[in-house]
Structure 1
Amino acid sequence: MIKFFRKIRQKLFSEGKTGNYLKYAIGEVILVMIGILLALQVNNWNENRKVQKEIREIYNQIIFELDNDIDELSENLNMYESIKSVFDNVVSDSRTVDLLDDGLSRIIASSPNTVLNKSGVERLRTISVNDSLSLKVIEMYESLEWFIRIEQTISESQRLIVINYKDNYSWYPEWINKRITKENSSQELQDYFVNSQEYRHNVIYSYQQVYNRYVPRLRRSIPQIKQIRNELQNAINK
């Protein structure tokens, strides 16, 4: 094709048709530029198709990971809601030995340890996306880091409480080795959890962290996460 155009130029030039030669040369340049632009457009289309395919794959991965995160966060919420009445009794200082059967001695002895599944969102960050849904997903995961930080705060306070039990109370081996109920626990242990103001103060502190900060945020965030999960699914189905 290039040889063909070259022969035409040479013929026009040799015949002294300079005006026609220039017109032809300009036309040839325009055709070349159009060809380059078309090639670039095709290349961009192919690249965009590859990126969109990768984004759909990443969205599928994120949906799978979000399902696990939603389950874990929902379990944490359900757990704290199930023991709130015991917390309330301690905070109001209306404890009874019967509450030992409902986990009185354990309500601040363990904490959630959420492990967010972030492989998908990390992949999303690497391809420098700027569409609104992808940016929403990235922002959501950044906000979820708050749960990790508050869980660490709760966990650290509970770790110090357990160390206090170990170092200062003779009933610690009994408490650490079995499920405590009113029927299988010593009087000394019962007196501490039913009557101790130290325990009550520790529970009040945990209550502030759990029910004034952690649980309300869970209640708001779980529906929001589910909504974004559905938006991702809708984007894949388009």
Structure 2
Amino acid sequence: MMANLFSSFDPTTNFKLSLNWMSVLLGLLVIPPMYWMIPSRISLLWITVISTLHKEFKILLGSNKTQGSTLIFISLFSFILFNNFLGLFPYIFTSTSHMALTLTLALPLWLSFMIYGWINNTIHMFAHLVPQGTPPVLMPFMVCIETISNVIRPGTLAVRLSANMIAGHLLMTLLGNTGPMLSMIMVNFLIITQILLLILESAVSIIQSYVFAVLSTLYSSEVN
């Protein structure tokens, strides 16, 4: 049963091809009317969200030398948010529930921060390995701990996003598979539960995309 359950998240389930990954590009069908036609309530709402994120990311970066860098993290937030919401629709592949996509987003971003930091701010990067006020005896251990915590950052970013996205989908799939075996009264309770889970997953989609973007911003602010 578990093999069949997890096969619903397999990119090669349909037609033995990876056509499911085309769901990542479905946003291109929605973007043109949103940005190029007469402003609507949706576009005005999205502009408000982007402006709020820009102000918050600007505070987190805390440097006047990084003008325009908030656009990177706003674009990252928008991309993850859209793919998270697409996964809530029936028969649409949830791309952000796979490490192949989340690690592809996190690893190059973290690697670029590290290369930039160690080339331009070497002393600053070394100072981050030993927190202020650390006793001399504990300094070697703190260097090892800080190095390990720095290296696993892209992995934690990727696993956090994919695990949170796949957990709710698995729960909804498990509950949905029990529907044919239940009575009419229990089916009504099941439908209400599924609706509540769908609302919860919508909130998780927003929160996880926001957390991914904020943590990426914080990681970038450490190398300046």
* Rg larger in structure: 1
Q: Same fold (TM over 0.5)?
A: no
TM-score by length of 1: 0.31
